[in-house]
């Protein structure tokens, strides 16, 4: 259960230690990619809690979402339209929805547990 | 949660963490700001103005030369050209120069109770530092142990022996002659400078002679090789 969190910390540490920097004109792509990755992660957690988790969907969704989001941003830059906003919007809304669902599920579980303990 | 699922989540969060860190670092990159205060800016401005003046002087000098060329083109083509060649030769260090200046001596300095390794040469770094210092104080012509310093002179350490161009500095004292427009000033500045302390750290004693009216510096004895220059097309016509 704690392993993913450990992975996150390890990733951050790795990133800070390697001292990588990307050119600032590409940083918007990276932020979109981060958002997409977050969306997939949260979506995966939700699916897992709802017992509809599928590892193929999860892993493919992770890469596909990142690629789609960055290419949308890329297209937007070349068309002169801020298309990356579409990705930000979509992922943002989904992120909130998923987190809300996770919260509700966890809340229900917690309340059930408390009731059980009382009885 | 199955083991595989946990690994997938871990993998994904590792990548997210990495991307986050890179993004964070990218956005944290400090932009170069001008942090000079007003005095520093004033000093820089003054420096630039001096440079400006110097450039203007140079332009004037060349314009005068050009005028002279034009005037005397018909009469004595050669004289001006020869004069320029002489000037350039003098600047390049190919002629003997005589003028007021100071003479510096570098000697070994070990007190009687000293036991330990004795160095019989001066480090190239220290010597370069001294030369930089001399140039900073307005030296015009310098020779080290009768080796004239020119623009292409190298001071380097070859197999533990410090060499000026290809002349090794093996025996003390080393004599450094400096010609400068104002020997008194050079003497005083050298007296006030901390360079002697740097020499003392290497067990060397730097002595500066009183300002002398007549210092003779011999010409550079090597051939000046010009590798990366060629005549401009127009000038050939």
- Same-domain pairing of B102 and B210: yes
Q: What residues have CB less than 8 Å from A39, skipping those under 6 apart? A: A65, A91, A94, A95, A98
Q: Is residue B132 part of a domain?
A: yes
What are the residues facing B148 on neighbouring strands? Answer: B143
The CATH number assigned to the domain holding B101 equals 3.30.70.1880
Contacts of A39 in chain B (CB under 8 A): none
- Same-domain pairing of B67 and B126: no
How many structural domains does chain A have? 1
B164 — pLDDT class (breaks 50, 70, 90): confident
Measured in whole angstroms, the distance separating CA B73 from the mean position of its chain's CA atoms is 38
Question: Model confidence over A16-46: pLDDT tens digits?
Answer: 888 788 887 888 888 888 888 889 989 988 9
- Same-domain pairing of B115 and B207: yes
- Same-domain pairing of B103 and B143: yes
Contacts of B20 in chain A (CB under 8 A): 11-12, 15, 34
Q: Is residue B102 part of a domain?
A: yes
- Same-domain pairing of B82 and B115: no
Q: Is residue A6 part of a domain?
A: no
- Arithmetic mean of pLDDT, B162-191: 84
Task: Give the residue numbers spanning the domain of B147.
Answer: 97-217
CB contact under 8 A, B20 and A11: yes
- Same-domain pairing of B108 and B193: yes
CB-CB: which of A12, A30, A44 is closest to B17? A12
- Same-domain pairing of B103 and B212: yes
CB-CB: which of B10, B23, B24 is closest to A3? B10
Interface size, chain A vs chain B, as Cβ–Cβ contacts under 8 Å: 107
| Tokens 């330990």 belong to residue | B116
Question: Model confidence over B29-58: pLDDT tens digits?
Answer: 666 777 888 888 899 999 999 999 999 999
- Same-domain pairing of B86 and B114: no
Question: Model confidence over A70-90: pLDDT tens digits?
Answer: 898 888 888 988 888 888 898
What ipTM was assigned to the predicted interfaces of this complex?
0.85
Contact B78, B85 (CB under 8 A): no
Cα angle A57, A98, B12 (rounded to 5 degrees) comes to 45
Q: Is residue B48 part of a domain?
A: yes
DSSP letters for chain B = --HHHHHHHHHHHHHHHHHHHHHHHHHHPPPP-----HHHHHHHHHHHHHHHHHHHHHHHHHHHHHHHHHHHTTT-HHHHHHHHHHHHHHHHT-S-EEEEEEEEEEEE---TT--S----S--HHHHHHHHHHHHHTT--EEEETTEEP-TT--EEEETTEEEETTEE--SSPEEEEEE-S-HHHHHHHHHHSSHHHHHHHTTEEEEEPPPEEEEEEPPP-S-----S----HHHH-
Q: Is residue B25 part of a domain?
A: no
Q: Is residue A2 part of a domain?
A: no
Task: Give the residue numbers spanning the domain of A87.
Answer: 26-118
Give the residue with greater pLDDT, B19 vs B28.
Answer: B19
Highest mean pLDDT pick, B10-19, B86-95, B110-119: B10-19
Contact A33, A63 (CB under 8 A): no
- Chain B nearest-CA residue for A33: B19
Q: Is residue B187 part of a domain?
A: yes
Q: Is residue A15 part of a domain?
A: no
Task: Looking at the complex, report in whole angstroms how far the Cα of residue A118 sits from the nearest Cα belonging to chain B.
Answer: 27
Contact B155, B161 (CB under 8 A): no
Contacts of A9 in chain B (CB under 8 A): 17
- Arithmetic mean of pLDDT, B159-187: 84
CB-CB: which of A1, A3, A34 is closest to B16? A34
- Same-domain pairing of B138 and B211: yes
Q: Is residue A13 part of a domain?
A: no
Distance, in Å, from the CA atom of B90 to the CA atom of B96, rounded to the nearest integer, reads: 8
State what percent of residues in chain B have pLDDT above 70.
92
Contact B83, B168 (CB under 8 A): no
CB contact under 8 A, A15 and B10: no
How many structural domains does chain B have? 2
């Amino acid at each position: 259960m704690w392993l993913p969190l450990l992975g996150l910390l390890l990733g951050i540490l790795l990133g800070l230690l390697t001292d990588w920097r990307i050119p600032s004109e590409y940083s918007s792509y990276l932020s979109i990619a981060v958002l997409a990755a977050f969306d997939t992660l949260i979506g995966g957690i939700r699916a897992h809690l709802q017992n509809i988790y599928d590892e193929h969907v999860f892993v493919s969704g992770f890469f596909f979402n990142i690629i789609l989001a960055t290419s949308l941003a890329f297209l937007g830059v070349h068309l002169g339209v801020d298309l990356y906003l579409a990705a930000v919007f979509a992922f943002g809304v989904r992120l909130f929805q998923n987190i809300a669902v996770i919260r509700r599920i966890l809340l229900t579980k917690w309340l059930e547990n408390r009731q059980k303990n009382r009885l | 949660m199955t083991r595989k699922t946990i690994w997938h989540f871990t993998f994904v969060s590792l990548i997210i963490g990495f991307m986050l860190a890179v993004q964070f670092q990218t956005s944290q990159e400090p932009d170069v700001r001008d942090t000079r205060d007003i005095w520093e800016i004033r000093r820089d401005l003054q420096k630039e103005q001096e440079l400006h003046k110097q450039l203007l002087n140079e332009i004037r000098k060349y314009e005068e030369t050009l005028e002279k060329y034009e005037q005397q083109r018909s009469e004595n083509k050669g004289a001006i050209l020869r004069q320029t060649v002489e000037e350039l030769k003098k600047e390049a260090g190919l002629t003997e120069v005589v003028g007021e200046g100071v003479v510096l001596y570098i000697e070994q300095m070990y007190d009687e109770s000293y036991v330990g390794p004795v160095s019989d040469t001066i480090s190239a770094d220290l010597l370069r530092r001294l030369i930089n210092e001399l140039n900073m104080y307005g030296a015009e012509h310098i020779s080290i142990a009768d080796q004239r310093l020119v623009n292409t002179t190298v001071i380097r350490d070859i197999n533990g022996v410090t060499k000026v161009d290809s002349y090794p500095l093996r025996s003390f004292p080393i004599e450094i002659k400096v010609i400068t427009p104002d020997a008194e000033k050079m003497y005083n500045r050298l007296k006030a400078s901390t360079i002697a302390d740097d020499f003392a750290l290497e067990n060397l004693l730097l002595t500066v002679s009183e300002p002398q009216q007549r210092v003779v510096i011999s010409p550079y004895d090597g051939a000046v090789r010009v590798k990366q220059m060629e005549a401009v097309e127009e000038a050939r016509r």
